[in-house]
Each structure stands twice: as C-alpha cells, then as structure tokens.
Chains A and B, each alone.
Chain A
Amino acid sequence: MALHDDLIVQAKQLANRAPRHPRQASLRRAISTAYYALFHALVAEAVLILAPSTPSALRAWVGRTFVHGDMKKVCKGVGAGNPASVTGQLMSRPIDSRLAFVAKTFVDLQEERHKADYDTIASFSRADVMLKITDVEQALASIQAIRGNPNTHVFLVALLFHEIWTRR
C-alpha cells in the first residue's frame, strides 16, 4: 500500500474516534494526516515523470525538494482556472474539472492543516473534517483518472518548477 493510502486510512480512523464527542486533538491530527496523504500522492506522481527509477534513491531525493508554499501557489492558479507564467502558457484550456478539483483541494487542505497544527483558537467540527477527508479521497481518485494528460504533466512539473519559471 502506498504511503498516501495508509495516511488516508489513518485520517479516517482519527476522525471517527468517539463520533459523538470527538476530541479536537483527533480532528486536528485527522486534517493534518489527510493533507499529507494528498501532498505525498502529488509528489509521488510528479517524481515519476521528473526522475528516472535508478538509482533507487533518486526519486526520493527529488521528492524532498518540493516546497509546500510553492505548490500551493501553483494550485491556486490552476484551481481558479488562470495559471500564471510558464504554467499558464503550457496548459491548454479549458482545464479539466478533475485537475482543478485536485488543485483546489490541495489549497484548502494545506490551509486547514496550518490551522489544525498552529491555530489553537480554531474549533473543528467532525462533519467538516469528514468532508475534507472525502475531498482528499476524491482528489486521489482524480489524480489517477487524469494521469498521462498533457495538462496533468504540466501541473505536476510546475509543482516543483513554477517559482523558478516565475523568476526568469
């Protein structure tokens, strides 16, 4: 089982603990875990097209160069249907709704993870956490469904290179 599959299972377990009186700590960890499921799934897809399979550790090292904030910027553009810079030039229109959904889900989950991990005032509802987990599951399925599409390739590569392209 891939890491992101394990993480989504774990997120559900956390969110379903004590359904009538869920603890905020469990809900917060569920959000964080769901975000990392999507993060690792996107990175895994991207490195498949960015780096060869040998030597065996190469893809893992390429995967470690992704920057959360840079990925979010790409996702905002793609999610809103107006990617900037080289990403925008390379993508054909209209952008597949499944790709846009993946991007919007990443933006949402990263922000929620930030709140879950750092904002001690925020109070999470179980319903919202379950929705976020469902969104991530749908996004993971969408990534598989649009694998190999040219816009998907641009998106995945842009997750790593968009900021460099923007500075040129």
Chain B
Amino acid sequence: MLPEVKLINSVIKRHRFPSGVKTWSAEYGEDSTGDPAVWIWFHYKDDEGASQQNIHELSDFVHLIRDHLLEADIGRWPYVGYRNPVI
C-alpha cells in the first residue's frame, strides 16, 4: 500500500461515521485544474431525505475529515463528500 493511501486510511479510521454511512471509497487522480487530488466518498443512503439535524452531522463530519487530511499534508487536495451507495 502506498504511504499516502496508508495515511488517508489512518486519518479516516480515526473517526466515527455518521449514522447512515457504512462504507467509503477513494479515487485518486487530477482535479479539473490538473492538480493531484483524492476524492473520498462516503456512501450514504438518503431515500427518506436527510433531516436538518442529519445535514449538520453529515456536514461537520466531512469538514473534519477534509481538515484532518489537509493537516496530514497528503500531497493531494482532498475532496470529501457523499454519494449514493453502490447497488
């Protein structure tokens, strides 16, 4: 496993996931401006529509992950968000 992948895994595993989030995935590549980037997707099922409370919890979580990845200086810009679960 590459050091940056290890680092990203270790940062993410330090956090407790919000309810509704079971899995996550990462994609490595270049962003639209050609800089190294990683996309961290947390798979969240929102069939019922997220409540305002959920929105806050989900929002705080991705901000925290992004900030900790920036602090960890992984050499890529971390884009962190939610996507529908893979069926």
B43 to chain A, nearest CB (A): 9
- Enumerate A63-79 residues with CB–CB distance to B below 8 Å: 69, 72-73, 76, 79
B21 to chain A, nearest CB (A): 10
- Enumerate B53-83 residues with CB–CB distance to A below 8 Å: 54-55, 58-59, 62, 66, 70, 77, 79, 81-83
Whether B79 lies near A135 (C-beta < 8 A) is no
- Enumerate A107-147 residues with CB–CB distance to B below 8 Å: 107-108, 110-112, 114, 123-128, 130-132, 134-135
A123 to B41, CA, bound (A): 11
Chain A residues in 8 Å Cβ range of B54: 127
Q: Which residue of A lies closest to B59 (CB)?
A: A131
Chain A residues in 8 Å Cβ range of B84: 123, 125
Q: Which residue of B lies closest to A117 (CB)?
A: B32
Chain A count of residues within 8 A CB distance of the other chain: 27
Chain B count of residues within 8 A CB distance of the other chain: 24
B56 to chain A, nearest CB (A): 8
Q: Does A93 contact B (CB under 8 A)?
A: no
A121 to chain B, nearest CB (A): 11
Q: Does A80 contact B (CB under 8 A)?
A: yes
Given contacts A110-B32, A134-B59, contact A125 B49 (CB under 8 A): no
A79 to B58, CA, bound (A): 20
Q: Which residue of B lies closest to A69 (CB)?
A: B33
Whether A131 lies near B82 (C-beta < 8 A) is yes
Whether B62 lies near A131 (C-beta < 8 A) is yes
A137 to chain B, nearest CB (A): 11
Residue among A112, A127, A128 with the highest chain B CB neighbour number at 10 A: A127
Whether A131 lies near B66 (C-beta < 8 A) is no
Whether B77 lies near A76 (C-beta < 8 A) is yes
**Contact among A72, A79, A123, A134 with B33 in the assembled complex (CB-CB below 8 Å):** A72
Q: Does A20 contact B (CB under 8 A)?
A: yes
Give B contacts to A, CB under 8 Å. Answer: 31-33, 35, 37, 44, 46-50, 54-55, 58-59, 62, 66, 70, 77, 79, 81-84
Give A contacts to B, CB under 8 Å. Answer: 19-20, 69, 72-73, 76, 79-81, 104, 107-108, 110-112, 114, 123-128, 130-132, 134-135
